[in-house]
Structure 1
């Protein structure tokens, strides 16, 4: 279908609920852009791509490499909901920190200057790509006398993370790691915070609409009893991240937005081929073991993510009302088949073959609605716990 919005499939291991949610969003993005929804686009080998009479808008299931994007006709942020990076590691947590002096096995395209440039906007930490460097870097960080957190570069949310308090725990944690996976995506070692709040800050450009937001995440329990992502509450405004900073009153949120702006700027300087229409950053704010207040970006997301249904609902609201300046949106994920509030939009409700029964829905409210204020407060409380899982 010429000029359509297509769901771009590259990662075939995504769950049924993730695929359905992304297609729910793609259909609404098509309405916002004044296009039709063209269904799925399975990326094949070079030369197999279909030819379209008009540019296609893609909703990829992961961050794209520049060579992949160019092959399907994605040339800039106006062509996709997501982002494009020049090297695989740029889309992982590993980009957030510098490598230790003398580090080996650094990937092609690694920028030594970026780690120094990002230092004011992240927690103290290091990135490594082999287990020997991990032991050395971990000991360097532990010398400050405070716990650190080990985070695989390819991990989503808090998966695979370990809090480490001493060299013995460091060795035990490293012995459990997959050396090949660390060589591919890297390992982040950074200072662990206690009693921290994690904020979400993001910005979107879709068609003529530019919006930015700050908010928080919630967690829930899946059918295995594990703590997992449970939804987001976002305060959105029309404008970019600088506009968001000017409009933010709460000091902790201001620090989170400012860290996102600095992080985003330095990545763009280091990698000019990077571009994204969807930029989302998880930022932690709390105290370290010495009582010092710390605020830093934990990771970036330049792909369709957990907060994207809420983002799309906000985009719809701004598109329907050109005079609208602010909106509050919430999205919820519940591992059960439940009845949702009457004003909610369901993006998925059913039995997923992998995760089991799950219901995912979103709600739009006025920016000054009491329910929105309450939801934001509850979301902050839900995230105020030891550690920072992003």
Structure 2
């Protein structure tokens, strides 16, 4: 494994390696990548068709933006390929081993839109909190360093890998109010519940699949009850083009009346986290500045604490709100080092920055609309419109905003 790790160029805290030339503002557009081909890699076997259609569409637009040929058909993640055969890689899941990255020809951030981690658990929300005690159950490769580095950048909470540890962690947290339980393998809010007292905690723990808790882990953290706002903070590297963003998520109602993800609106700036922090400061919004600072701490800790980690697409969900006692709380909830729900907006903004080298910022949105939807706004890029067997009628599109919209 050490030889494989040597093949990967780790992220430098959100900055490209010193040898990489970042495309400066005001310069004529140059080739973003030496890769001649871009390949979409379907890593998630359980991805739904609307997800795959959207991800393929984003990969195709990335190929056009980078001047690459697009490989028709999905690439299998577990096959062996000749060196360089896939070119630039767009996986629909974080690559969860250094060996898998090597097989796909990924040697650094310049070779993919996404991320690479040394073990599967690193790609999940389970890393966000530390253990209940130093000798608690944890997977091989667990980083004590990471938990210590992000402790003040996340909500109060614990990560556990046994129900006994979960009971102890839950009891501690209940002393300060309701506790949210989140299975590490849950996606999009699934596998979550809130316990408001010891009886509810016990009942919810007993209902959990023991094998999933022991294999993937369970997060217990303080529940926010009022004024909740979720920020999307991101860092992007597309070849020589580096950008970062802050924005907010919004929810919508599914056909079953449940709140689900409805899209994001992002303000994207040319450059890394330093430029983003200045943009947030200039916006006059202290909440935006705080969210960017929390995400930057989390990102840098991942770079420093997980050997072989790299991410050319990094997105962090940062929540702000009040708990049941009215206390103001803020923290990173989880990370996404793969193509995601906000990627349509990311690509729209990157394209705007690419087409106008003098442009410093761009604002773009993604929309996921449930139910029947009329005509799309002018300039919208449609990624999916159809009827999903699980969620019903669904439309997904991205839109680059003008200064007036």
Q: Please, what TM-score do these two structures have when normalized by structure 2?
A: 0.86
Tell me what 1:381 maps to: none
- Aligned partner of 1:75 in structure 2 is 107
Equivalent residue, structure 2, for 1:40? 73
**Larger mean Cα displacement after TM superposition, 95-104 or 319-328:** 95-104
2:24 aligned with 1:24: no
**2-structure distance, mates of 1:345, 1:124:** 40
Q: Name the SS of the counterpart of 2:243 in structure 1.
A: strand
Aligned mates of 2:233, 2:341 — CA distance in 1:
13
State the shift of 1:126 in Å.
0.4
Does the aligned pair in 2 maintain the 1:337–1:350 contact within 8 Å? no
Match in the other structure for 1:173: 204
Structure 1 pair 355–288 and aligned structure 2 pair: CA distance change class (3 A)? closer
Asked whether 1:3 is paired with 2:39, we answer no
Count of aligned positions: 365
- Following TM superposition, by how much is the alpha carbon of 1:97 offset from its aligned partner in structure 2, in angstroms? 0.4
Following superposition, the deviation at residue 290 of structure 1 comes to 3.3
Aligned to 2:399: 363
- Provide the C-alpha distance between the structure 2 equivalents of 1:116 and 1:75, rounded to a whole number of angstroms: 29
Give the Cα–Cα distance (whole angstroms) in 2 for the partners of residues 182 and 70 of structure 1: 30
Q: For 1:1-390, what aligned pairs fall within 5 Å after superposition?
A: 3-43=36-76, 45=78, 48-51=79-82, 56-65=87-96, 66-101=98-133, 103-144=135-176, 146-195=177-226, 196-248=228-280, 249-338=284-373, 339-366=375-402, 368-369=403-404, 371=405
Aligned residue for 1:290, secondary structure, equals coil
- Structure 1 runs (4+) greater than 6 angstroms displaced: none
SS for the counterpart of 1:342 is coil
Deviations 1:333-360 (A, max 9, x none): 1123422112211011122344332111
Matched residue, 2:13: none
Distance change >3 Å, CA 280–CA 350, structure 1 → 2: same
Q: CA deviation at 1:49?
A: 2.0
Q: State which drifts further: 97-106 or 312-321.
A: 97-106
Conserved? CA contact 2:40–2:90, under 8 Å: yes
Q: 1:52: Cα distance to partner? A: 5.5
Instruction: Rate the CA distance shift 1:299–1:350 in 2: closer, same or farther, 3 A.
Output: same
Query: What SS does structure 2 have at the residue aligned with 1:39?
Result: coil
SS of 2:181 mapped into structure 1: strand
2:154 touches 2:331 (CA, 8 Å); kept in 1? yes
C-alpha separation between the residues in 1 aligned to 2:297 and 2:81? Answer: 39
Aligned to 1:379: none
Give the superposition deviation at 1:61.
Answer: 1.3
Equivalent-residue separation in structure 2 for 1:42 and 1:355 (angstroms): 27
Work out the CA distance in 2 between the residues paired with 1:163 and 1:218: 21
Partner of 1:229: helix, strand, or coil? strand
What secondary structure, in the 3-state scheme, does the structure 2 residue paired with 1:99 have? coil
Q: Secondary structure at the match of 2:401?
A: strand
The C-alpha deviation readout for 1:275-307, integer Å capped at 9, x for no partner, is: 001010011112223333221101111011111
> How far apart, CA to CA, are the structure 2 residues paired with 1:216 and 1:348?
22
Offset of residue 225 of structure 1: 2.7
Q: Deviations over 1:12-53 (max 9, x none)?
A: 2111111111111111111121111112343254xx423265
TM-score normalised per structure 1: 0.90
CA–CA separation in structure 2 for the residues paired with 1:279 and 1:337: 32
Q: In 1, Cα distance between the equivalents of 2:95 and 2:345?
A: 22
